[in-house]
Amino acid sequence: MLRYFISREFLRTLLLMLGAGVLLYLLVFFLLLPAYARHGKGVTVPDVQQMSLQQAMDVLDDADLTPFLFDSTYVEGFPAGVVLKQYPEAYKRVKPYRSISLTINQRTPPMVSVPPIEDMILYQAKVSLEGRRLSLGKVILRPDLAENTVLEVSYLGKPVRAGDQVPVGAKIDVVVAKSSGTAKVPIPDLVGLSYEEALNLITSSMLQLGGISYNESGPADQLGRVFGQRPRATVGDSISVGAPIDLFVYGTEPTGNDAPMGEIVEEEVE
């Protein structure tokens, strides 16, 4: 036995085994594994957000990536079926054929229940609606002793009650009590607010939006903000409920035809 371990045949066999081991090591770690992992190669994830699902899938396929529909949700203001989110995010470097998950906008908004806003004051009702992803629509003033309190609630002209189902983003109309006579409210200070913030404060103060004047030459960091109002907000001054307030806003006049949210009207008394 000892003679075999010191023989040329054993040394030749040992050298062959060592050579085969080195060859196998080189083959696995320098050829097979890099090919499997595509070592040194990467793909930049394209930005497919706000594309239609089919368009996004085509773009990802062309980039040697694998798209798959991960989830759907609803965001108001986006077309149905467009991509809202993607993961990994756009411009990340990933391996070829990496799966890219897509979240698209639902075709129909989900339903939510109307909160119990009757008998709330208008501002509280507005906050409660926004907490359910709803918004305040038309505010109708009706003579009543319960000043500034919500008396009735409706959607698309039909009465609704707490717990009734309406689509996310729906505008809820309310009838609000206005005391007889010349009720007054303080003039809100709107200067420095964004247009949306100013409109919300006007509505919650039981006033309404008057005219809007735009100044295109304002500071770049102030675009969309109110730089003046009429009447001005002075400590101690008040204005009649439902009165208009004119705004002066930095920026250009929008081209959309959407009516202001929270329009206030007086209910006609027969």
Cβ–Cβ < 8 Å for 193, 225: yes
Asked whether the whole model's pTM tops 0.75, one would answer no
Cis peptide before 88 (omega within 30 of 0): yes
Q: Nearest CA to 266 among 243, 245, 250, 246?
A: 243
The tens digit of pLDDT for each residue in 43-61 reads 999 999 999 999 999 999 9
What integer pLDDT is reported at residue 259 of this predicted model? 42
What integer pLDDT is reported at residue 151 of this predicted model? 93
**Other Cβ atoms within 10 Å of 109 Cβ, number:** 17
Rounded to an integer, what distance in angstroms lies between the CA atom of residue 39 and that of residue 52? 33
What integer pLDDT is reported at residue 180 of this predicted model? 61
What integer pLDDT is reported at residue 35 of this predicted model? 60
Count of CA atoms in the C-beta half-sphere (13 A) of 45: 22
The tens digit of pLDDT for each residue in 206-238 reads 788 888 999 988 888 899 999 999 999 887 888
- Ranges under pLDDT 70 in the chain: 1-7, 10-11, 26, 28-41, 179-183, 255-270
What integer pLDDT is reported at residue 266 of this predicted model? 62
What integer pLDDT is reported at residue 19 of this predicted model? 77
Cβ–Cβ < 8 Å for 139, 265: yes
User: What is the signed CA dihedral for 69, 75, 76, 82, rounded to 10 degrees?
Assistant: -30
